[in-house]
Homo-oligomer: A and B are copies of this chain.
Amino acid sequence: MTDGTPKTVGIKQIAAAAGISIGTVDRALHNRPGVNPKTRSRVLKIAEKLGYRPNLAARSLKLNRRLRIVAHLPRQIASFFDPLREGVREAAAAIRGVTVDVTFRTYPHLGDGDLKLLEEDLERDYDGILMTPGNPSQVESAIRRFTERGTAVVCVASDAPRSSRLASVSVDAAISGSIAAELLGTVLHSEGTVATITGDLNTFDHGEKLRGFAATLATMAPHLTLISTIETHDSPKEAYRATLALLKRNPSPAGIYVSTANSIPVLRALEENGMCGRVQLITTDLFAELIPSIESGAILATLYQRPFTQGKLAFETLCRFLVDGVQLEPVTRLAPHIILRSNLPLFLERLPAGLEMG
């Protein structure tokens, strides 16, 4: 029961045990050329026996790697991408033992200026890039050129599945849609109609949500009929008008699923028609203007896409690869949080500044 001298084992100890020099030990451990196979296997065995763990601080001091990472993210929608950037920053601050420079590059919208910005940074020789692919087919060639230059690409918030990206982190869109359908199906007991309001069905994410919604509605809520799928192209005005038009055509839908963050105009249109509380509403993401409607019950639930966590995970995945060569899960599909009235308080803390002070 005496203490087994948990002394630290380094290449020096291995060298001493093998009666050779540390140079040879290093070569053997790393499969470098020019080592007698017998020596190598002997070294490996001793290292194993002694429980050798390389001192990562020493290694990174010597190698003195300096990782240059750039994050290409849109400015809009700020309530989503600001916390995502925050997550990247926090993960970057927590990194030990490697110096990581993170540069943020911002363009107005998905699909608006992103390609040009990518073009510019192609020359800059970054070690890694985080990006949100807008139009997958256009972005694919850009991604390929980065990876061919040796820049690792991680997609965040949306994916470009057929590209050469190293990994992707996003919320599972199809399941987001499924959850919305299940919730409506569970809450609404009698037959009725439901509608969805989305951005642009060409966007992978939006299409997936609708597919998940429709599929689950069919299986888990056959008493509900999907009557309308409105595309609003992220325009508040369009969303407002479309909602009014919807109510004209169908005076009392039982439920509406808004699958983008563009839900405020929908709420307004419903309110003005006295429909709040009479139609079950499922929205997407969380931002200040949404809070009162959740608290009042006007919104049954909002599906929170956890931008902060997405940013953090994407950065960690990228760094883990660049630093250790470890390739984590290539595809991470986060579960969206279902925010109701009761658990809303837990999510307010991470909202952009000012809110928690009120």
Q: Which of B6, B99, B320 contacts A55 (CB 8 A)?
A: B99
Would you call A300 an interface residue if the criterion is a C-beta within 8 Å of the partner chain's C-beta atoms? yes
Would you call A53 an interface residue if the criterion is a C-beta within 8 Å of the partner chain's C-beta atoms? yes
Q: Across the interface, do B58 and A175 meet the contact criterion of CB distance under 8 Å?
A: no
Cβ contacts under 8 Å, A104 to chain B: none
Would you call A220 an interface residue if the criterion is a C-beta within 8 Å of the partner chain's C-beta atoms? yes
Tally of this chain's copies: 2
Cβ contacts under 8 Å, A337 to chain B: 335, 337-338
Q: Across the interface, do A175 and B345 meet the contact criterion of CB distance under 8 Å?
A: yes
Q: Across the interface, do A342 and B300 meet the contact criterion of CB distance under 8 Å?
A: no
- CB interface residues, A 162-210, toward B, < 8 Å: 172, 175, 178-179, 181-183, 186-187, 189
Give the contact stretch, choosing among A77-85, A90-98, A132-140, A231-239. A90-98
Bound-state Cα–Cα, A337 to B347, Å: 12
A293 to chain B, nearest CB (A): 15
Given A172-B346, A179-B343, A220-B342, are A94 and B189 also a contact pair (CB < 8 Å)? no
Cβ contacts under 8 Å, A66 to chain B: 8
Cβ contacts under 8 Å, A144 to chain B: none
Bound-state Cα–Cα, A60 to B97, Å: 8
Q: Across the interface, do A346 and B323 meet the contact criterion of CB distance under 8 Å?
A: no
Q: Across the interface, do B97 and A320 meet the contact criterion of CB distance under 8 Å?
A: no
Q: Across the interface, do B96 and A97 meet the contact criterion of CB distance under 8 Å?
A: yes
Cβ contacts under 8 Å, A96 to chain B: 56-57, 60, 95-98, 323
Given A175-B345, A187-B186, A187-B187, are A94 and B320 also a contact pair (CB < 8 Å)? yes
Would you call A105 an interface residue if the criterion is a C-beta within 8 Å of the partner chain's C-beta atoms? no
